[in-house]
């Protein structure tokens, strides 16, 4: 049953609105805001009491890029074709076709960081959605039903692309979206990989990507321009390579950025991979990190322990946790989550786009076995010279959390390092208890102290 009449807050824009509000006024205003932020950052007084080093200068560019993206979103409906996609969807052909992309997961995370997720999720719960459903899904469904969003307004989708390489919840979630928006849903099914992908897995996924391209071409009313597609693929590869390099800079001691910085700076690689602006941004970021590494500047002032974070961040606690850990000399230097958007860079082959996309989108860490994740974590412990691991047991994200008890056990027993299971949720503050969480973290720090 379609229910478009129940969503009055999804309004169409026109070219004039898009041009004036976004191209002309919006972009200029955001540029001016960036200049102001740069000026403020330059005049920022030293904060000797803060355990954290000053933020990276490039953060003002990231803010501009992401704000621009969400601002365009307000006026995209009716002007550009709009696709709502899962975070692991093969978006490169859509970008080449000129689609404006909305990542509901990223939008939900934005609600989480702004501490709006609970009240928005409650809109979904009040409409009958169970609290046992992923808090990203509840946040986005709540935003869809109520129109509440810190982004101002999201554009109505012309097509939905759902790829199951991150979880099975998206399968149901996107069917709900399709029902409400009464628009086509492209489903890309990625077989779970217990080992490496087999050729027939790759063929199976490639065919689905080809089908997606046909649907997207039909909706866009144009054919995929191969030159433009090649350009997007090249940017996608370069962007992912740069992101991986950015993350690997934290192998230095002290690490020039924390995983919490990574959670914030990953916005462009998630939302705009394949775009030149993303490549430019990470080149800028890398240059700045290199200066930090060369000058021995760490992201936290007193790096005593280096730690790995597994699973999604706790978005609504990101600032507090980052500060608390820094105060205790703990630098969370790496995370399996941010790594997921970089580690597959070598697989992206612009010369062989469809096959390589099929491979890349089959291999995200969430579509692979618990043993593979354990091996990745062990490798990171070695490469980043880590003293401990925090495994965020995320109530909402079952595929990511499944296997963590065994992974924690193996890490602790085979590597002999403290490993903590921290129970929380990526977006729902009702599933995190500060008192108990901090108590566990304190004990974890004491264990690292005892080993030192």
CA separation for the pair 374, 392 (Å, rounded) = 14
Report the nearest approach of another protein to the CB of residue 419 (Å): 8
* Min CB(200)–another protein separation in Å: 38
CB nearer to another protein: give 23 or 433: 433
Q: Which is nearer to another protein, 188 or 417 (CB)?
A: 417
CA–CA gap between residue 393 and residue 323 (Å, rounded): 20
Of 65 and 448, nearer to another protein (C-beta) is 448
Instruction: Name which of 203 and 433 has its Cβ closer to another protein.
Output: 433
Q: How far is the CB of 450 from another protein (least distance, A)?
A: 4
Query: Closest CB to another protein among 59 and 381?
Result: 381
Cβ proximity to another protein, 190 vs 407, nearer residue: 407
Q: How far is the CB of 407 from another protein (least distance, A)?
A: 12
CB of 442 to another protein, least distance (A): 5
Give the shortest CB-440-to-another protein separation in angstroms: 6
285 vs 385: CA distance, rounded Å: 23
CB of 188: closest distance to another protein in angstroms? Answer: 35
Nearer to another protein, 286 or 447 (CB): 447
When the beta carbons of 56 and 417 are compared against another protein, the nearer one is 417
The DSSP symbol for 109 reads: H
User: 285 or 389, CB closer to another protein?
Assistant: 389
Min dist CB 387 to another protein, Å, is 14
Which secondary structure element, helix H or strand E, spans residue 306, and what is its range?
A: strand 305-310
Q: Is the peptide bond before 107 cis (omega within 30 degrees of 0)?
A: no
Question: Strands (DSSP E) along 104-229, which ranges?
Answer: 159-163, 185-188
Cα separations in angstroms, 185 against 197, 218, 241, 363, 419 = 25, 13, 31, 23, 41
The minimum distance between CB 446 and another protein, in angstroms, equals 5
Min CB(378)–another protein separation in Å: 17
Complex with another protein: residue 312 or 448, whichever CB lies closer: 448
Nearest CA to 204 out of 220, 187, 217, 216 is that of 187
Report the side by side order of strands in the sheet with 419-424: 330-335, 305-310, 388-394, 419-424
**122 Cβ contact list (under 8 Å, min separation 6):** 142
Nearest to 12 by CA among 80, 97, 103: 80
* Least CB distance to another protein at residue 428 (A): 12
CB atoms within 10 A of CB 259: 28
Tokens 């859509």 label which residue? 94
For residues 142 and 121, the answer to whether their CB atoms sit within 8 Å is yes
CA distances from 4 to 7, 78, 183, 404 (A): 6, 16, 10, 41
End-to-end Cα, the chain, rounded Å:
61
**Burial, 227: exposed, middle or buried (Cβ in 10 Å; 0-12, 13-18, 19+)?**
exposed
Q: Please list, in sequence order, all residues whose beta carbon lies within 8 angstroms of the beta carbon of residue 305, skipping any fewer than 6 positions away.
A: 329, 330, 331, 387, 388, 445, 448, 452
* Antiparallel, parallel or unpaired: β 419-424 and 388-394: parallel
The least CB distance from residue 408 to another protein, in Å, is 8
Binding site for another protein (CB under 8 A): 405, 409, 412-413, 418-419, 421, 423, 431, 433, 435-436, 439-440, 442-443, 446-447, 450
- In this complex, which beta carbon is closest to another protein, that of residue 288 or of residue 394? 394
- Residue 324 and residue 327: Cα distance in Å, rounded? 5
Q: Which is nearer to another protein, 355 or 423 (CB)?
A: 423
């Amino acid at each position: 049953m379609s229910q478009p009449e129940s969503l009055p807050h999804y309004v169409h824009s026109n070219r004039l609105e898009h041009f004036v509000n976004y191209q002309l006024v919006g972009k200029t205003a955001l540029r001016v805001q960036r200049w102001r932020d740069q000026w403020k950052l330059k005049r920022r007084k030293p904060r000797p009491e803060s355990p954290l080093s000053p933020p990276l200068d490039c953060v003002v560019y990231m803010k501009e890029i992401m704000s621009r993206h969400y601002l365009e979103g307000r006026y995209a409906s009716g002007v550009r074709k709009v696709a709502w996609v899962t975070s692991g969807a093969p978006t490169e052909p859509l970008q080449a076709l000129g689609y404006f992309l909305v990542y509901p997961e990223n939008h939900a995370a934005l609600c989480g960081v702004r501490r709006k997720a609970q009240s928005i999720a409650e809109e979904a719960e009040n409409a009958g959605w169970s609290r046992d459903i992923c808090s990203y899904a509840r946040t986005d469904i709540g935003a869809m039903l109520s129109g509440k969003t810190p982004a101002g307004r999201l554009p109505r989708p012309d097509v939905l692309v759902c790829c199951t390489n991150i979880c099975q919840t998206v399968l149901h979630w996107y069917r709900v979206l399709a029902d409400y928006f009464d628009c086509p849903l492209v489903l890309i099914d990625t077989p779970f990989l217990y080992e490496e992908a087999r050729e027939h897995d790759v063929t199976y996924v490639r065919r689905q990507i080809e089908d997606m391209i046909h649907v997207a071409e039909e909706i866009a009313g144009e054919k995929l321009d191969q030159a433009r597609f090649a350009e997007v693929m090249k940017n996608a590869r370069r962007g992912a390579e740069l992101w991986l390099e950015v993350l690997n800079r934290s192998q230095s001691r002290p690490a020039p950025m924390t995983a919490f910085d990574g959670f914030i700076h990953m916005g462009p690689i998630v939302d705009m991979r394949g775009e030149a602006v993303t490549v430019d941004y990470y080149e800028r970021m890398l240059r700045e990190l290199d200066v930090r590494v060369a000058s021995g500047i760490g992201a936290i002032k007193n790096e005593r322990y280096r730690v790995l974070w597994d699973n999604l961040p706790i978005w609504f606690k990101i600032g507090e946790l980052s500060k608390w850990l820094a105060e205790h000399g703990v630098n969370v230097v790496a995370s399996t989550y941010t790594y997921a958007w970089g580690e597959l860079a070598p697989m992206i082959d612009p010369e062989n786009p469809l096959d390589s996309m099929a491979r890349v989108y089959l291999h995200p860490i969430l579509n692979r076995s618990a043993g593979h994740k354990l091996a990745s974590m062990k490798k990171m412990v070695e490469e980043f010279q880590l003293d401990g691991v925090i495994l965020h047991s995320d109530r909402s994200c079952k595929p990511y959390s499944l296997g963590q008890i065994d992974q924690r056990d193996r890490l602790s027993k085979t590597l002999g390092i403290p490993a903590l299971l921290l129970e929380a949720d990526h977006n729902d503050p009702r599933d995190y208890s500060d008192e108990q969480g901090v108590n566990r973290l304190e004990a974890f720090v004491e264990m690292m102290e005892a080993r030192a």
